[in-house]
Amino acid sequence: DVKVTQSSRYLVKRTGEKVFLECVQDMDHENMFWYRQDPGLGLRLIYFSYDVKMKEKGDIPEGYSVSREKKERFSLILESASTNQTSMYLCASSWQGNTIYFGEGSWLTVV
C-alpha cells in the first residue's frame, strides 16, 4: 500500500515562529502536493512539485515556502507563523495524472 507520512499530527506554535511540516512518501511518486483545509473553504492548494528541486505555486502560496531536496520528501515551511495560518495541512503524492494519496493531516494551531 502507498504510504504518505506527515511528521506531526498536532502542533501548537507561537506567532512569528518558523514552522516546518514534513511529508514523506514511499512509492517513488513524481508529484507531491501541499493543501490546507478550512471549514467552509474546502481544500486549497498551497504548493506542488513535479520533480526534485522543482516547485510551483498553487492558489494560496503567500506566507509559505517549500523544499524538495529528495524525491520522497516534500517540506512545507511557514517562515513566520501567523494566526490566520491555523489550519489542517494535508500532504499528497501521485504519479503523473493518476490516483492521488493523502497523508493523515497535520493540525496546526498558531497562538
Q: Cell triple for residue 36?
A: 490546507
- Per-residue binder mask for another protein (CB under 8 A), 29-68, x = binder: --x-x-x-x--x-xx-x--x---------x----------
Q: Cell triple for residue 52?
A: 526534485
Give how many residues touch another protein by CB under 8 A.
Answer: 23
Q: Does 102 bind another protein (CB under 8 A)?
A: yes
Task: Report the residue from 24, 78, 90, 108 that binds another protein according to the rule CB under 8 A.
Answer: 90
Residue with cell 503524492: 93
Length of the chain: 111
Q: Does 28 bind another protein (CB under 8 A)?
A: no
Those residues with Cβ within 8 angstroms of residue 37's Cβ, 6 or more apart along the chain or in another chain: 43, 44, 87, 88, 89, 90, 105
Tell me how far, at minimum, the Cβ of 20 lies from another protein, in Å.
20
